Amino acid sequence: MQIKAFIIHLHRATERRSQVNELSQQLPVMTEILDAVDNKNLSEQEISHAYHRHLHKPSYPFTLSRNEIACFLSHRKAWQAVVDQQLDAGFILEDDVALTADFAACFATAQTMLQQKPDCFIRFPFRDREEGELVLAQNNVKVLRPRHIGLGMVAQIVSREAALKLLQVTQQFDRPVDTFAQMNWITNVDMLTLQPGGVAEISRDLGGSTIKNKKGLFDKLSREILRPLYRSRLRKKIDSLPKKSG
């Protein structure tokens, strides 16, 4: 089975380069550093082509920033690389990830899962909060099929079949990439998650997030109100769907 790692890295984020180099040396598969889409280089035409508000229900209540749009396009670039290079799967990581002591066991378990189900998407979350159907247990690692998929796209194995599906349904998008990934009734991708995740998110140690923008008081207050409303509507939508298994 051919798996290649892709580390999404913004070229001008030089403070993260040492971490990218360290990851490249630590990962157990061939690794490519993938140039992230730079929000500073995005044209208005590129943005309007990809980003459209209120495409899906429940509606996402916030306007995406240029950084969030660039992040989504960077993940699409990684999915496209998996397809173009005719890989069985890609291990896609953001550049603010560190591997933990559990990583080797987690990666081996994910490989076993991929052999059994070659069309899946396997998340390596940095928080062990998700619950769901137990699909596989190996090496003291569980593979779960969560009913409510967690946020974050720091590390994941994406099969070629899953990448093709995601590329098809995200030619236009209306919300951040991790929030879109929660809507598997639209993606039709089998989203699995590892527990533990085998990774840690270390953006603070690397100078902070390259995605988040400083927000004013009004924006912060509106988000405090609208975010839980959106999450409630999303949960109701998910709970109304028939349970998947297999």
* Local confidence pLDDT in tens for the 246 residues of the chain: 899 999 999 999 999 999 999 999 999 999 999 999 999 999 999 999 999 999 999 999 999 999 999 999 999 999 999 999 999 999 999 999 999 999 999 999 999 999 999 999 999 999 888 999 999 999 999 999 999 999 999 999 999 999 999 999 999 999 999 999 999 999 999 999 999 999 999 988 787 665 556 666 667 777 888 999 999 999 999 999 987 766
| The two three-digit tokens of residue 54, written as one number | 């209120």
pTM of the complete model beyond 0.85: yes
What is the C-alpha to C-alpha distance for residues 242 and 73, in angstroms, rounded to an integer?
A: 31
pLDDT of residue 224: 85
Domains, the chain, in order of start with CATH, read: 3-239 (3.90.550.10)
CB 5 within 8 Å of CB 25: no
Three-class HEC string of 110-134: HHHHHHHCCCEEEECCCCCCCCEEE
Which secondary structure element, helix H or strand E, spans residue 206, and what is its range?
none
CB 210 within 8 Å of CB 8: no
CB 72 within 8 Å of CB 176: yes
Sort strands 89-94 and 120-123 into parallel, antiparallel or unpaired: unpaired
